[in-house]
């Protein structure tokens, strides 16, 4: 857009300007230059020829023309023609514009001509100016004065001169002449005269204002008239202008100290030192001082002072004293030398710069009540504050120290102590990860689903401790064309056992119950062919109402083992009390109790005629268990035959797993007792008289998890307690004990091969790297996926003990079935309450009347091969699934939708009313009264003594407590292609989860830090060391090239300064496929970090700290090196200090102190302290601490006053005027 108007003022109407030939129009911001050169063409089609240059200034092509302007005469007579010419090097092209008395000459003869002719018809002065342009952005102009006729006969004067700039030449400047104005100024008085006697940062001394400004700069020019008007504030005040300073009072700056202090409210309920913030409206004035510095600056000063003034050799900054390894040598040196500041020595100057400080809260001296290593917390500079670590092993549990983290504590006071346990899950690795225990895997192409992770097993008792639950999630990301997933752990949890912990990926989310029946997700007795074996650690309590006694047998309490349920019945030793060495062995859930001759373990009066005893034993020889003084009522174990006998019955039951734990169950119903060994019941009940429980052993006997119920439990409940179950992978622990034929028990995984049709198989997903094409398999050839074969005669899964928890108003069933049975119904799932049958006989007529009140039932079943659920069933013969092939069935209730092999099918209602049972469309209506819940078995609805069993195979049986969407159903159906979207996970219990405080210590003012050793070694260099990782791996490789270290073994690699831990995912005698790639090997140990917490602490003091530019390493007073981003300010001069509050240690053991304040603030600051609920959710009723800023003058410190101006013309100042 070109606007020519500014270049042609006063020439055209309506404010519009013409495009003038010979004039260059430039946009210097865009570096574009436009010049009209000449007019061409003829009317009515004229044109203007133009020259356009772009970028010429930036390229350095533009240059101001160098020329002279001459006239044939400068004193012409009136009417005489004068020739004006521009003399310039014509080798370049130029454009010319002429101006007479600053008006553009626009006649065509003047446009773009280097010479013009003019005549003048009036006497006087005429100013002619020419502008010459190189058309590229370079411009220059010249003026010439023409005196026409006798100039003395005019009443005008000629003003000549030069307009100059201090920087660059000025082109085109105009000089305006006007009459000098009268300039008025207002004079006023502001402020308070009395405040002038003692100015400070907050008062308002008196001052003169001219035009509202203090001491403005006034410019007076020759000929100007300046008037000063005094406003009413000047009444009675004299003012004069002086040629120089007559006299001036001295000016000083008062430097106020600011010290933050706790107010009357100390608060309560704090478990951590609260954050503290402050606000103020002015700036902080940094200053230099030799009296105050941060703690690290003090140590560096002392180190330098000792090295340069003493004959002692140089020492490390964290070296401790020879006579006390818990005290820094430099702190002893400070006390010995009696230094009071950072003063010069040996031509060495040390001055500290004090910048705007931060405030930190110190607690009243307290003790430590809790140790926290999770959930994951990051400190203020990005380091780990709470983290369970990774790579630990419970057989080499790290020693943990509770180390003080404050320089304001007495390190001679009693320290807290703690014990760490490796019971957290630090590693969750998909078995298709590319690296050993890696946390990333590749899913199917196009997969956008984000599954959830559930970690369950022996730990995660969230109802008792929310921090016990493992928290982890999955992140989706893309790597080129690959769809990647990464697992991250945010809390390692607590209470997990290495052999009873499982992590599972779920989608659809939140299954209510899920039985996969797969090799590594069930409990098989054959430990060589499956990962997990029977254990009570997987179970929830099956009958908490009737549990009368429970001994965990983990710890010694006053010479006995505490009863978790009934404190009056202790397990104690005779003739000697139990001691700690009796609990050194690991059990199935925590520790186990070892019984050795002559120890006898007994609990008094724990039985009556109805009871169930459940216990786990691992004998090394014969032992006996008696219920009374009469040994005939007891249990005997014969090590030679590995058999058990109850009450001399003559029936011997063999333990089923060699060199493993055995579950013993004794169930007494009105004195008639049955013996159960590993979930199998004997055939000969015996009469016993049980009162006490007494256990003796001639050899070592390990005992764990002893329970006594005051009722006779069912066979299924005892089998559940024995760990003979198919695991519920939802995490809700609705494990399914198998009942029926002996071969239905999970003894050894079924032998399977690819293509044998024992599991549904389909083509792998196209271009899927990890596609297996087999339901349950995470990678090709894994053979983890198994199904369950029901014989149609007696096999079923008994879920009755869980029936009360299945009160679902709506839900979805998903199951794979393979059957060719024509029986109808063919039961898949059954829940029922019992019918009531009343028999009434009329004594007068002798007639009998039978009244039947039907029970309720809810069933998923096949009727003539068609799936049906809760009164709605598939109705097309094409939907029959009893063709001997695998089919996926999904059914919802009470909505009644049914999918078969991913397709929604048509349905119709069917009658639910029968003689003995009346069907319902949901489980909620009667689950409270239900007593039977099975998979694969149903009650006959017309014959009271008849049962119906499923005939065929089932796989991946899942129940949801919501209605699945069609997309979720399709997702489940496509799992037939393989499990790479939800691969099996290896969960490793290798993190510190629990840290128990044994002794709370005293004198803690800041939360202490938990420092973890490398097992039993404090320093990594004390471990078995290798120069490189390669040499470490080569040293632990067998003849077959396999890594053969011991699980949890630690080694130090020198060139990396790193500790490595050996992981054994699969022992050599196990024949199953555990993971794709390497199962065993060395990996980096990641150190655990933790913090000690208080119980109900109050804030005791506030101190100033300096925020460092980077994370800084410094030693604590005991020599421990720590990383900090904020370092406390200190002074070495006690006379410049503020005493610590009364709750602190006295006498103070160090020779550094809290400064009595810092300069630099121009006002009081407003402080706020975080409430205790930030870290303690239970402290809702606890008050929040309050703090204030003490803003004051210390007359004893020279730095309180800074002289800004010493004054002038004053002989003396009376003291009363200062």
**Greater model confidence, 849 or 905:** 905
Q: Could you tell me where the beta strands, DSSP code E, fall in 152-216?
A: 182-190, 207-210, 213-214
Joined together, the tokens standing for residue 1191 give 């803003």
The CATH number of residue 607's host domain is 2.60.120.200
Nearest-angstrom CA–CA distance, 303 and 300? 5
Q: Is residue 647 part of a domain?
A: yes
Nearest-angstrom CA–CA distance, 16 and 13? 6
**Residue closest to 1000 by CA, chosen among 270, 268, 370:** 370
Residue 950 scores a pLDDT above 80: yes
Residue 1211 scores a pLDDT above 80: no
What are the backbone dihedrals phi and psi of residue 1205, each rounded to the nearest 5 degrees, phi first? -150, 125
Nearest-angstrom CA–CA distance, 1135 and 787? 82
Ramachandran sector of residue 339 (left: φ over 0; alpha: ψ -120 to 50; beta: rest): beta
For residue 11, the model assigns a pLDDT of: 46
Helix (H, G, I), strand (E, B) or coil at 609: coil
How do 866-869 and 872-874 pair as beta strands? antiparallel
Nearest-angstrom CA–CA distance, 286 and 1158? 10
Give the number of other Cβ atoms within 10 Å of residue 925's Cβ: 16
Q: Is 654 found in the same domain as 578?
A: yes
Q: How confident is the model at residue 252 (pLDDT cuts 50, 70, 90)?
A: confident
Domain hosting 634: range is 540-722
Joined together, the tokens standing for residue 952 give 């065929």
What are the backbone dihedrals phi and psi of residue 806, each rounded to the nearest 5 degrees, phi first? -100, 35
Residue 13 scores a pLDDT above 50: no
| 948, burial (CB in 10 Å: exposed 0-12, middle 13-18, buried 19+) | buried
Q: Is 352 found in the same domain as 385?
A: no
Q: In which element (H, E) is residue 333 found?
A: helix 329-337
Contacts of 558 (CB under 8 A, 6+ apart): 577
Of 433-447, 547-561, 871-885, 1009-1023, the one with minimum mean pLDDT is 547-561
**Residue closest to 68 by CA, chosen among 88, 98, 96, 82:** 88
Q: Is residue 513 part of a domain?
A: no
Residue 1012 bridge partners (DSSP) = 400
Q: How confident is the model at residue 599 (pLDDT cuts 50, 70, 90)?
A: low
Give me the DSSP letters along 1153-1195.
Answer: B-BS-BS--SSPPEEEE--GGGT-TT-TTSPPP-EEEEEE--T
Q: What angle do CA 936, 940, 944 make, to 5 degrees?
A: 130
Helix (H, G, I), strand (E, B) or coil at 230: strand
Give the residue from 1035, 1062, 1092 where a domain finishes. 1092
806-850 pLDDT per residue, tens: 999 999 999 999 999 999 999 999 999 999 888 787 778 788 887
| 298, burial (CB in 10 Å: exposed 0-12, middle 13-18, buried 19+) | buried
Nearest-angstrom CA–CA distance, 458 and 499? 9
Q: Is residue 158 part of a domain?
A: no
Q: Is 955 found in the same domain as 845?
A: yes
Q: Could you tell me where the beta strands, DSSP code E, fall in 221-269?
A: 225-230, 251-254, 257-262
Residue 224 contacts residue 181 (beta carbons within 8 Å):
yes
Average pLDDT over residues 573-601: 79
Joined together, the tokens standing for residue 1171 give 């409430």
**Residue closest to 520 by CA, chosen among 530, 534, 510:** 530
Q: Is residue 954 part of a domain?
A: yes
How do 1050-1053 and 1025-1026 pair as beta strands? parallel
**Residue closest to 1131 by CA, chosen among 31, 38, 340, 547:** 340
Q: Is 890 found in the same domain as 803?
A: yes
For residue 574, the model assigns a pLDDT of: 64
Report yes or no on whether pTM surpasses 0.95. Answer: no
**Greater model confidence, 473 or 176:** 473
Q: How confident is the model at residue 254 (pLDDT cuts 50, 70, 90)?
A: confident
For residue 98, the model assigns a pLDDT of: 92
Nearest-angstrom CA–CA distance, 862 and 882? 8
Residue 91 scores a pLDDT above 70: no
Instruction: Say how many Å lie between the first and final Cα of the chain, rounded.
Output: 69
Q: Is 1084 found in the same domain as 1165?
A: no
Dihedral over Cα of 960, 965, 971, 972: its sign: positive
Nearest-angstrom CA–CA distance, 1153 and 72? 93
Of 417-421, 647-651, 911-915, 1025-1029, the one with minimum mean pLDDT is 911-915
**Residue closest to 866 by CA, chosen among 917, 811, 915, 821:** 821
Average pLDDT over residues 1011-1023: 94
Q: Is 588 found in the same domain as 622?
A: yes
Q: Is 124 found in the same domain as 32?
A: yes
Q: Is residue 736 part of a domain?
A: no
**Residue closest to 411 by CA, chosen among 1199, 1187, 1145, 1159:** 1145
Q: Is 408 found in the same domain as 302?
A: no
What's the chain's Rg over C-alpha atoms?
48
- Please give the C-alpha separations between residue 1193 and each of 253, 261, 999, 1157, in angstroms, as whole numbers: 12, 16, 45, 10
Nearest-angstrom CA–CA distance, 570 and 550? 10
Of 73-82, 151-160, 885-894, the one with minimum mean pLDDT is 151-160
Work out the mean pLDDT of the chain and round it to a whole number: 89
Residue 1143 contacts residue 266 (beta carbons within 8 Å):
no
**Greater model confidence, 1205 or 313:** 1205
Dihedral over Cα of 25, 27, 28, 32: its sign: negative
For residue 201, the model assigns a pLDDT of: 65
Joined together, the tokens standing for residue 212 give 């509202």
Nearest-angstrom CA–CA distance, 743 and 741? 5
Among 65-74, 558-567, 988-997, which range has the highest average pLDDT?
A: 988-997
Name residue, tokens 């333990």.
Answer: 655
For residue 1071, the model assigns a pLDDT of: 86
For residue 12, the model assigns a pLDDT of: 45
Residue 1054 scores a pLDDT above 90: yes
Joined together, the tokens standing for residue 1180 give 């809702």
Give the number of other Cβ atoms within 10 Å of residue 219's Cβ: 8
For residue 1068, the model assigns a pLDDT of: 81
Q: What angle do CA 1046, 1051, 1055 make, to 5 degrees?
A: 145
Q: Is residue 398 part of a domain?
A: yes
For residue 598, the model assigns a pLDDT of: 67
Nearest-angstrom CA–CA distance, 471 and 456? 11
Q: Is residue 1153 part of a domain?
A: yes
| 977, burial (CB in 10 Å: exposed 0-12, middle 13-18, buried 19+) | buried
Give me the DSSP letters along 53-112.
Answer: EESTTTTT-------EEEES-SSPPTT-EEEEEEE--TTS--EEEEEETTEE--SGGGTT
863-886 pLDDT per residue, tens: 999 999 999 999 999 999 999 999
For residue 389, the model assigns a pLDDT of: 97
1152-1196 pLDDT per residue, tens: 999 999 999 999 999 999 999 999 999 999 999 999 999 998 888
Ramachandran sector of residue 74 (left: φ over 0; alpha: ψ -120 to 50; beta: rest): alpha
Give the number of other Cβ atoms within 10 Å of residue 190's Cβ: 13
Average pLDDT over residues 517-526: 95
Q: Is 943 found in the same domain as 821?
A: yes
Q: What angle do CA 604, 606, 611 make, to 5 degrees?
A: 155
Dihedral over Cα of 807, 813, 815, 820: its sign: positive
Of 560-569, 654-663, 961-970, the one with minimum mean pLDDT is 560-569
| Packing angle, helices 329-337 and 295-309, rounded to 10 | 70
Q: How many domains does the chain have?
A: 7
489-516 pLDDT per residue, tens: 999 999 999 999 999 999 999 999 999 9
Q: Is 324 found in the same domain as 301?
A: yes
Residue 1142 scores a pLDDT above 80: no
Give the number of other Cβ atoms within 10 Å of residue 756's Cβ: 11
Ramachandran sector of residue 901 (left: φ over 0; alpha: ψ -120 to 50; beta: rest): left
Q: Is 544 found in the same domain as 471?
A: no
For residue 1037, the model assigns a pLDDT of: 84
Residue 958 contacts residue 516 (beta carbons within 8 Å):
no
649-708 pLDDT per residue, tens: 999 999 999 889 999 999 999 999 999 999 999 999 999 989 988 888 888 899 999 999
How do 251-254 and 1201-1205 pair as beta strands? antiparallel
Joined together, the tokens standing for residue 1077 give 């790639």
Q: How confident is the model at residue 247 (pLDDT cuts 50, 70, 90)?
A: low
For residue 1205, the model assigns a pLDDT of: 80
**Residue closest to 1103 by CA, chosen among 1006, 1035, 1203:** 1006
**Greater model confidence, 41 or 1006:** 1006
Q: Is residue 1210 part of a domain?
A: no
Residue 453 scores a pLDDT above 90: yes
Q: Is 681 found in the same domain as 544?
A: yes
For residue 538, the model assigns a pLDDT of: 95
Nearest-angstrom CA–CA distance, 148 and 158? 13
């Amino acid at each position: 857009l070109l606007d020519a108007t500014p270049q042609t003022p006063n020439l055209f109407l309506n404010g519009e300007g013409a495009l003038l030939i010979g004039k260059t129009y430039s946009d210097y911001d865009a570096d574009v230059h436009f010049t009209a050169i000449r007019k061409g063409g003829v009317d009515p089609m004229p044109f203007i020829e133009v020259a356009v240059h772009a970028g010429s200034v930036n390229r350095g092509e533009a240059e101001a023309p160098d020329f002279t302007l001459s006239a044939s005469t400068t004193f012409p007579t009136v009417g005489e023609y004068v020739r004006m010419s521009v003399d310039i090097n014509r080798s370049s092209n130029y454009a010319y514009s002429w101006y007479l008395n600053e008006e553009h000459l626009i006649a065509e003869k003047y446009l773009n001509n280097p010479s013009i002719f003019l005549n003048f018809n009036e006497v006087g002065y005429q100013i002619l100016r020419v502008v010459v342009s190189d058309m590229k952005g370079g411009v220059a102009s010249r003026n010439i004065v023409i005196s026409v006729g006798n100039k003395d006969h005019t009443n005008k004067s000629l003003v000549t001169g030069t307009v100059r700039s201090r920087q660059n030449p000025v082109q085109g400047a105009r000089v305006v002449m006007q009459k000098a104005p009268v300039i008025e100024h207002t004079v006023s008085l502001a402020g308070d005269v009395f405040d002038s006697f003692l100015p400070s940062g907050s008062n308002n001394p008196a001052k003169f204002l001219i035009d509202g400004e203090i001491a403005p700069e006034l410019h007076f020019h020759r000929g100007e008239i300046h008037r000063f008007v005094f406003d009413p504030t000047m009444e009675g005040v004299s003012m004069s202008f002086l040629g120089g300073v007559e006299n001036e009072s001295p000016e000083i700056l008062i430097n106020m100290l600011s010290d933050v202090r706790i107010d009357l409210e100390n608060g309560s309920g704090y478990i951590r030192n609260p954050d503290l913030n402050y606000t103020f409206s002015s700036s902080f004035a940094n200053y230099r001082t030799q009296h105050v510095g941060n703690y690290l600056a003090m140590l560096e000063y002392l180190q330098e002072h000792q090295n340069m003034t003493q004959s002692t050799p140089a020492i490390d900054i964290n070296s401790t004293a020879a006579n006390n390894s818990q005290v820094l040598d430099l702190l002893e040196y400070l006390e010995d030398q009696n230094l009071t500041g950072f003063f010069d020595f040996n031509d060495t100057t040390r001055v500290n710069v004090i910048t705007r400080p931060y405030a930190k809260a110190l607690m009243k001296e307290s003790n430590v009540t809790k140790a926290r290593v999770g959930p994951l917390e990051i400190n203020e500079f990005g380091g780990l504050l709470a983290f369970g670590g990774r790579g630990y092993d419970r057989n080499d549990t790290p020693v943990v120290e509770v180390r003080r983290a404050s320089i304001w504590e007495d390190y001679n006071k009693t320290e807290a102590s703690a014990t760490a346990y490796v019971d957290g899950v630090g590693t969750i690795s998909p078995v298709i990860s590319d690296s050993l225990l890696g946390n990333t895997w590749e899913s199917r192409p196009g997969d956008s689903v984000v599954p959830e992770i559930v970690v369950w097993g022996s730990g995660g008792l969230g109802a008792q401790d929310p921090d016990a639950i493992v928290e982890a999630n999955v992140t989706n990301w893309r790597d080129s064309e690959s769809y990647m997933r990464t697992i991250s752990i945010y809390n390692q949890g607590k209470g997990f056992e290495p052999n009873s912990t499982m992590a599972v990926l779920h989608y659809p989310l939140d299954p209510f119950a899920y039985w996969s029946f797969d090799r590594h997700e069930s409990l098989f007795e054959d430990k060589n062919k499956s990962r997990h074996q029977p254990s009570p650690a997987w179970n929830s309590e099956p009958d908490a109402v009737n549990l009368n006694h429970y001994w965990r047998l983990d710890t010694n309490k006053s010479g006995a083992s505490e009863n978790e349920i009934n404190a009056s019945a202790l397990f104690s030793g005779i003739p000697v009390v139990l001691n700690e060495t009796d609990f050194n062995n690991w059990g199935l859930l925590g520790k186990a109790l070892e019984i050795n001759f002559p120890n006898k373990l007994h609990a008094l009066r724990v039985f009556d005629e109805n009871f169930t005893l459940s216990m786990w034993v691992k004998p090394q020889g014969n032992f006996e268990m008696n219920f009374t003084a009469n040994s005939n009522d007891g249990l005997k174990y014969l090590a030679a035959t590995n058999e058990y006998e109850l009450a001399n019955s003559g029936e011997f039951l063999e333990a089923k797993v060699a060199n493993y734990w055995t579950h013993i169950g004794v169930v007494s119903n009105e004195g008639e007792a049955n013996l159960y060994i590993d979930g199998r019941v004997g055939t000969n009940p015996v009469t016993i008289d049980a009162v006490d429980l007494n256990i003796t052993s001639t050899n070592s006997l390990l005992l764990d998890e002893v329970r006594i119920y005051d009722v006779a439990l069912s066979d299924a409940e005892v089998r559940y307690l024995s760990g003979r179950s198919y695991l519920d992978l939802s995490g809700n622990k609705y494990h399914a004990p198998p009942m029926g034929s002996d071969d239905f028990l999970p003894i050894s995984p079924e032998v399977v091969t690819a293509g044998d049709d024992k599991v549904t198989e389909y083509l792998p997903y196209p271009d899927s790297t990890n596609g297996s094409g087999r339901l349950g398999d995470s990678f090709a050839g894994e053979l983890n996926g198994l199904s369950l074969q029901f014989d149609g005669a007696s096999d079923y899964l008994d879920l009755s003990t869980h029936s009360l928890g299945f009160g679902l108003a709506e839900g979805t069933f998903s199951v794979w079935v393979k059957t060719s049975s024509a029986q109808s119904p063919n039961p898949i799932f059954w829940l029922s309450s019992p019918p009531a049958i009343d028999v009434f006989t009329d004594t007068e007529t002798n007639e009998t009347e039978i009244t039947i009140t039907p029970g309720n039932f809810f069933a998923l079943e096949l009727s003539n091969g068609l799936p049906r659920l809760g009164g709605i069933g598939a109705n097309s013969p094409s939907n029959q699934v009893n063709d001997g092939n695998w089919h996926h069935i999904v059914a919802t209730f009470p909505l009644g939708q049914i999918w078969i092999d991913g397709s929604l099918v048509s349905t119709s209602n069917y009658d639910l009313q029968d003689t003995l049972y009346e069907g319902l469309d949901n489980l909620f209506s009667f689950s409270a009264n239900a007593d039977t819940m099975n998979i694969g078995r149903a009650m006959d609805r017309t014959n009271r003594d008849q049962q119906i069993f499923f005939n065929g195979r089932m796989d991946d049986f899942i129940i949801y407590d919501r209605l699945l969407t069609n997309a979720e159903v399709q997702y489940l159906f496509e799992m037939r292609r393989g499990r790479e979207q939800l691969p099996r996970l290896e969960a490793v219990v290798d993190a510190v989860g629990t840290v128990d405080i044994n002794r709370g210590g005293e004198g803690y003012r800041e939360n202490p830090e938990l420092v973890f050793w490398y097992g039993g070694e404090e320093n990594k260099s004390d471990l078995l060391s290798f120069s490189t990782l390669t040499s470490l791996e080569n040293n632990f490789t067998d003849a077959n090239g396999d890594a053969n270290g011991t699980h949890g073994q630690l080694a130090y690699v020198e060139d990396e300064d790193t500790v490595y831990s050996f992981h054994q995912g699969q022992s050599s005698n196990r024949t199953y496929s555990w993971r794709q790639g390497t199962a065993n090997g060395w990996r980096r140990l990641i150190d655990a970090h933790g913090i000690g917490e208080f119980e109900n602490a109050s804030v005791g003091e506030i101190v100033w700290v300096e925020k460092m530019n980077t994370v800084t390493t410094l030693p604590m007073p005991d020599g421990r090196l720590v990383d900090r981003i904020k370092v406390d300010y200190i002074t070495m001069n006690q006379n410049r200090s503020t005493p610590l509050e009364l709750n602190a240690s006295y006498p103070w053991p160090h020779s550094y102190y809290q400064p009595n304040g810092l300069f630099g603030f121009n006002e009081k600051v407003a402080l706020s302290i975080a409430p205790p609920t930030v870290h303690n959710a239970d402290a809702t009723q606890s008050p929040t601490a309050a703090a204030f800023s003490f803003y004051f003058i210390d007359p004893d410190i020279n730095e309180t006053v800074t002289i800004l101006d010493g004054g002038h013309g004053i002989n003396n100042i009376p003291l009363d005027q200062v």
